[in-house]
Amino acid sequence: MPAMRILPTDEATDLIGVVREVATKELAPRAAAAEAAGEFPRDAFTLLGKLGVLGLPYPEEYGGGGQPYEVYLQVLEEIASAWMTVGVGASVHILSCYPVATFGTEEQKLELLPELLKGDLLGAYCLSESQAGSDVTAMTTKARPDGDQYLLSGSKAWITHGGRADFYSVFARTSEHRSRGISTFVVRADLPGISYGAPERKMGLTGSPTTAVHFDEVPVPACRRVGEEGGGLGMALSALDSGRLGIAACATGLAQAALDVATQYARERRQFGKPIGEFQGLAFGLADLAAAVQSARATYLDAARRRDRGQPFSQQAAIAKLIATDTAMRVTTDAVQVLGGYGYTQDFPVERMMREAKVTQIFEGTNQIQRLVISRELLR
């Protein structure tokens, strides 16, 4: 059953309706086959771009949709509920636009954002390295000034859309200072010196390419540095607060989809002369899952509303990411159990959903890191 939403405007209600229809008719029917074949659905992002989804939370004057995060995240949930790879990919693209949209100069916004937000170009976010995941300040990728450009060298790991993106938001070291030595760059994929590792062989999200991205003296124009030299760490952490909300919304959508499959199965599957949903043990289990999904949705909406009002939301974003992704893992696992042997087969989508749920507890900061963020805020 689609989530019943309370939205701030009639425009937002109409938008959700359009996205839900597109997700149901255009995305969901393709998901299983594309994931089984490991096919990247680039055309799905072109479609979302035409709908305005890929620039939804950014200002209209730069080509965005001008929608609050409260609305954007619910749109993202609808997409992820239909096809998790596309929901996560949309979240990653919007995250990759964040540095320019939030910290760029007026000239950079006017020049870059209209092209980035309309969906013709697809973005990727290059922060993690093989030895610098949770510890961002351990990164070794460097950008060395060279006249009116920087020469970018190093490798980034676990990059969603690696090898398929048209541009990369890259964080690189411009000095040896641990926290104030990192800067941010927008790097076009067609620059010389960029190469890619083999796609990672993953448990889930197999339609979403994840690779290492290698930079070998890549000449990045100085005008593509976003913000001041050394200001990149704060930019990255700020972006992750918003990115975590994107993952929380996607995880909630995935959990909702699994709950819907399990509920429908419980209505139709008969044992001992009646639908299995009439057995109290199973019915109460479904009730617990429904409560967990609605709780996850409430946590990400609380954080989003604080963000929209300009209030601090880092702790709430971490809570939302923790709760929503743990919920996705629990609901998808229990949905497999509801379906019994069928749930363990590829004939039903819950086994794929269970595999997809696991990574939500890992990327955009592991859930152990979320607990660190939450506890630091509590004890400050």
**What is the set of active-site residues?**
364
In this structure, is the dihedral angle defined by the CA atoms of residues 330, 208, 162 and 59, taken in order, positive or negative? negative
Which pair of structure tokens corresponds to residue 105?
């100069």
Distance, in Å, from the CA atom of 123 to the CA atom of 161, rounded to the nearest integer, reads 7
Distance, in Å, from the CA atom of 153 to the CA atom of 215, rounded to the nearest integer, reads 5
Which pair of structure tokens corresponds to residue 175?
């000095």
How many C-beta atoms lie closer than 10 Å to residue 280's C-beta? 9
Q: Which amino acid is at 63?
A: G
As a whole number of angstroms, the longest Cα–Cα distance in the chain is 79
Q: 327, 251 in Cβ contact below 8 A?
A: yes
Distance, in Å, from the CA atom of 53 to the CA atom of 51, rounded to the nearest integer, reads 6
Q: Nearest Cα to 322, choosing from 376, 250, 370?
A: 370
β 167-173/123-126 pair status = parallel
Q: 194, 164 in Cβ contact below 8 A?
A: no
Question: In a 10 Å sphere around its CB, with 0-12 CB exposed, 13-18 middle and 19+ buried, how is residue 47 labelled?
Answer: middle
Distance, in Å, from the CA atom of 44 to the CA atom of 52, rounded to the nearest integer, reads 13
Q: 119, 49 in Cβ contact below 8 A?
A: yes
How far, in Å, are 60, 109, 265, 284, 337 from residue 279 at the CA level?
52, 58, 13, 9, 15
Q: 363, 246 in Cβ contact below 8 A?
A: no
Question: In a 10 Å sphere around its CB, with 0-12 CB exposed, 13-18 middle and 19+ buried, how is residue 14 labelled?
Answer: exposed
